[in-house]
Amino acid sequence: MKRWSLARWNRLKTRQAGVALLCLSLMSPSPALHAQVAPNRLPNLGDGAEMTLGAERRIGDTIAREIFQDPDYIDDPILQDYAESIWRTLLNASRQRGELLPEQEQSFAWEVMLVRDRSINAFALPGGYMGVHLGLISAVTSTDELASVLAHELSHITQRHIARSIGQQNRQSPLMIGAMIAGALVAARSGSSLSAANTANALMVGGPAAAMQSQLNFSRDMEREADRIGYSVMTDAGFEPQGFVTMFEKLQQASRLNDNGGYPYLRSHPMTSERIADAQARQQLLPSRGPQLTTPLHAMMAARAAVVVNPGVDALRTISTLPEQVGWSKTPPAKQINTLYAATLADIKMRDWGSARQHLARLQALPSLDAAGKLAVNSLAGELAIAKGAPNEAIELLEPKVQTLSSRPRATHMLLAQARLQSRQAAQAKRVAEDMQLWLSEHPKDALAWSYLASALEAQGDNLRAIRAQAEARAVQYDFSGAVDRLKAAQKMVETLSRQGQLSNADQMEASIIDARLHALEQSRREQALQR
């Protein structure tokens, strides 16, 4: 039988931990209700969870830290912008409906995490985290279908199904429960692998974890509630209700074809005829907004996900040749956009600049591109320029002529930073530092922005602040040990500068910030150690 490495099993248990947590739904529900119930809203199964919001957030942070460290976690700013745009739209609709309560909104992370995995899956974690496999983005045919999955998962979070399930285990630390769930999941998949079994045994503390393993199933009532609320949130957000039905039908068809492991969503969210019938009945009650379309933007994001999740050279070569196939010109416009975008990106990854330019030119010439599609193509052109070592060309393409700094998409900020740093010009490094500082003033939890800020400061010779930025990049991903190490290195630099009489007033101020941050992060590291 196939043997798995310890690192691989750690990645497997991390990726599925959120699904496992959601699956703990056969435990008895708490009978209490929220103190606040929105007008005209049906009572929710998740109301009155015994676990506090803070405890639920801490569980999510612990699992999120593991995902951040997983090699399959990916921060692709372009795909992230797309997923976040859907997620934020759904959050706003949930807030307007009264499903997302103010205390939840303030306490939870509300963060989307992308996972480089070709399987069709998405999962909700405690504390407002949402995991999305790239396989899901590449498989759905419309933004509406993707929104239907995210709305369903969002409803599991807002109705506190996870907290209600594990809140009953109040004799154990919530974080210990999360570790035991992860261990039980690894044990269930370990087969004959000795290393995997050892990993599971290390995570499982006594008999309670084994008991939890037998409870990894969804409650039908919770699934129906997530369908009901998710459907309403999705349609209130402006997405086409047909997307909910077609997504269900796709998953049911996959189930009929005997899922071979590519659809883990089917195991954590079993499709039933009853659920599909309910969705169809709800759809008939709402006026259709028109046919469900594959927009140019979705066609390109699906293509991007498919390329990023298939990094092998053979797969990239196959993708690159798709626009050359006989009959390609007769395919629908969305399919043409999809294949040309994928081919261009595959060429970039193979460093075939000539083919990339040809495919990009054909993509840019398509008449079916709308405004959002043209912006996505422009970003792709910027990526090509960066990849082939033409930073000035990328800057000219990416630097907006009208938009203000604060209104730029995150992807534009990050691509511009990459191009400017590549130019190795002092003036451009200064621009990156200014841009990233402005961005971080509004988005302080952006690890990639902290990393680019560190590189820009280092390029300017501001090594002390660069080290602190490196520490902040680690801290926002809950790597408190790594952050503390960087800050201690900064303190040593301060001591050296002081002995040499080279410590400026600005350095002294920065040293005070470093001392304060080190104290805070050491406390966070101690708390993190106690939670394990």
Contacts of 114 (CB under 8 A, 6+ apart): 73, 74, 75, 76, 79, 80, 83, 131, 132, 134
> What DSSP designation does 140 have?
-
Q: Is the model's pLDDT at 491 over the cut of 90? A: yes
Residue 24: per-residue pLDDT? 32
Q: Is the model's pLDDT at 172 over the cut of 60? A: no
Helix/strand/coil for 309: coil
Amino acid at 288: S
| 3-state SS, one letter per residue, for 12-79 | HHHHHHHHHHHHECCCCCCCCCCCCCCCCCCCCCCCCCCCCHHHHHHHHHHHHHHHHHCCCEECCHHH
Give me the sheet containing 73-74, strands edge to edge.
Answer: 73-74, 111-115, 129-133, 122-125
Residue 285: per-residue pLDDT? 65
The predicted-structure confidence for 444-455, as pLDDT tens digits, reads as follows 999 999 999 999
The predicted-structure confidence for 377-419, as pLDDT tens digits, reads as follows 999 999 999 999 999 999 999 987 556 666 689 999 999 999 9
Q: Which of 230, 223, 178 is nearest to 204 (CA)?
A: 178
For the segment 184-211, the average pLDDT, to the nearest whole number, is: 37
Q: Which of 126, 127, 128, 120 is nearest to 145 (CA)?
A: 120
The predicted-structure confidence for 133-150, as pLDDT tens digits, reads as follows 999 999 999 999 999 999
Q: Which pTM was predicted? A: 0.83
For the segment 483-493, the average pLDDT, to the nearest whole number, is: 97
Q: CA angle, corner 282, sides to 279 and 283, nearest 5?
A: 85
Q: Is the model's pLDDT at 88 over the cut of 80? A: yes
The predicted-structure confidence for 150-168, as pLDDT tens digits, reads as follows 999 999 999 988 777 765 5
**In this structure, which long-range contacts are made by residues 289-293, counting pairs with CB atoms below 8 Å and at least 24 apart in sequence?**
289/240, 290/240, 292/142, 292/144, 292/145, 292/240, 292/242, 292/243, 292/246, 293/142, 293/334
Q: What percent of the chain lies above the pLDDT cut of 90?
A: 57
CA atoms within 13 A of residue 80's CA, in its CB half-sphere: 18
Least confident piece of the model among 30-34, 125-129, 174-178: 30-34
Q: In this structure, what are the phi and psi dihedrals at residue 290, rounded to the nearest 5 degrees?
A: 125, 175
Residue 38: per-residue pLDDT? 45
Is residue 9 within 8 Å of 196, Cβ to Cβ? yes
Q: Is the model's pLDDT at 437 over the cut of 60? A: yes
The predicted-structure confidence for 461-478, as pLDDT tens digits, reads as follows 999 999 999 999 999 999
Q: Is the model's pLDDT at 492 over the cut of 70? A: yes
Residue 271: per-residue pLDDT? 58
| 3-state SS, one letter per residue, for 83-126 | HHHHHHHHHHHHHHHCCCCHHHHHHCCCEEEEECCCCCCEEEEC
Least confident piece of the model among 287-291, 314-318, 441-445: 287-291
Residue 458: per-residue pLDDT? 97
CA distance 213 to 188: 8
Q: Is the model's pLDDT at 210 over the cut of 70? A: no
Residue 60: per-residue pLDDT? 87
Q: End-to-end CA distance of the chain, in Å?
A: 32
Least confident piece of the model among 58-62, 104-108, 305-309, 318-322: 58-62
Residue 268: per-residue pLDDT? 59
Q: Is the model's pLDDT at 494 over the cut of 70? A: yes
Please identify which residue in the block is written with the tokens 């999305």: 132
Mean pLDDT for the chain overall: 80
Residue 180: per-residue pLDDT? 52
Structure tokens at 45: 């199964």
Q: Is the model's pLDDT at 43 over the cut of 70? A: no
493 CB-contact burial (10 Å; exposed 0-12 / middle 13-18 / buried 19+): middle
- Identify the band that residue 182 occupies on the pLDDT scale cut at 50, 70 and 90: very low
For the segment 313-329, the average pLDDT, to the nearest whole number, is: 92
Q: Is the model's pLDDT at 6 over the cut of 50? A: no
Residue 212: per-residue pLDDT? 43
Residue 196: per-residue pLDDT? 30
Helix (H) or strand (E) holding 311: none
- Identify the band that residue 349 occupies on the pLDDT scale cut at 50, 70 and 90: very high
